[in-house]
Amino acid sequence: MTPSAISFKPAQIGNRGLLAATLILLSWLGMLIFLLNFPIDWKNPLIYLFVLIQTHLYTGVFITAHDAIHGVVAPHNKRLNYWIGFLCTTLFAFNNYNRLSRKHHLHHQHSATHDDPDFHDGNPHFLAWYYSFLKEYISVIQIVLMGITYNILKIWFPMENLIVFWMVPAILSTFQLFYFGTYLPHRGEHHNPPHNARSQKLNHITAFLSCYFFGYHAEHHNWPYLPWWKLPEARVKSDELRMKN
């Protein structure tokens, strides 16, 4: 039996995907409102901690959009699932949900091949691949909308706070998502076609902190209908199966 043959029941997700999405979105929004009014003192270590927390929450917003693409945020209400995904991609630097959805499904169909929009086989180095990844997803309209939003928000919030707690975490989050969710899982040679993905070592704490368990990437490709919070269970079952074999 291969790992992909292990059975999981999507129906078990129920409303937990919606609860997870609500928690992440409210945490991100509440933290952002708090931080945009927080006095910045570069000698205060909390500043750097808050940037890291907000970066992680930004990543969670994108992961929620990703789960919506796979239909598991609100699996029993397709319209609600769509609009949550649309909201999350919009909050994440005005990304286009439909465009992301189309490209992500191509990634699953042609993982780590020249037909994969997330893959860069011409140069495996991190920065070259990251640059290629950004070009694939960033559009001029996003930059324009971000600029307009910034100029509106600075009417009410300090410019420094907007840069430190709104813009910087968003940029750092793209590094986090790319490094742990694309680069590490798909670089180099693979021996598990057609998924061509590997997983990090089993450690739920580091897996959550690094990228909401998406370091368990082979499991995500084996069971793309599983939400991020079900991946630890899949990773454990995969390890148990490998040990038996």
Where in the chain are the domains? 3-168
Contacts of 147 (CB under 8 A, 6+ apart): none
Residue type, 211: C
Residue type, 82: Y
Residue type, 185: P
Q: Is the pLDDT of residue 4 over 70?
A: no
- pLDDT reported for residue 122: 56
Segment 220-223 long-range contacts (CB within 8 Å, at least 24 positions apart): 221/108, 221/111, 221/195, 221/197, 222/3, 222/4, 222/6, 222/195, 223/4, 223/6, 223/8
Task: Report pLDDT digits (tens) over 71-110.
Answer: 999 888 999 999 999 999 999 988 899 988 888 888 777 6
Mean pLDDT of the chain: 85
Q: Is the entire prediction scored with pTM above 0.85?
A: yes
Length of the chain equals 245
Instruction: Give the helix ranges, DSSP H, for the chain.
Output: 16-35, 45-69, 78-91, 97-109, 126-137, 140-153, 159-161, 168-178, 184-186, 204-211, 217-222, 231-244
- pLDDT reported for residue 5: 47
For the residues 48-70, what does the mean pLDDT come to?
95
12 alpha carbon, distance to own chain's centre: 22
- pLDDT reported for residue 227: 92
- Token pair for 74: 């609100």
CA atoms within 13 A on the CB side of 37: 6
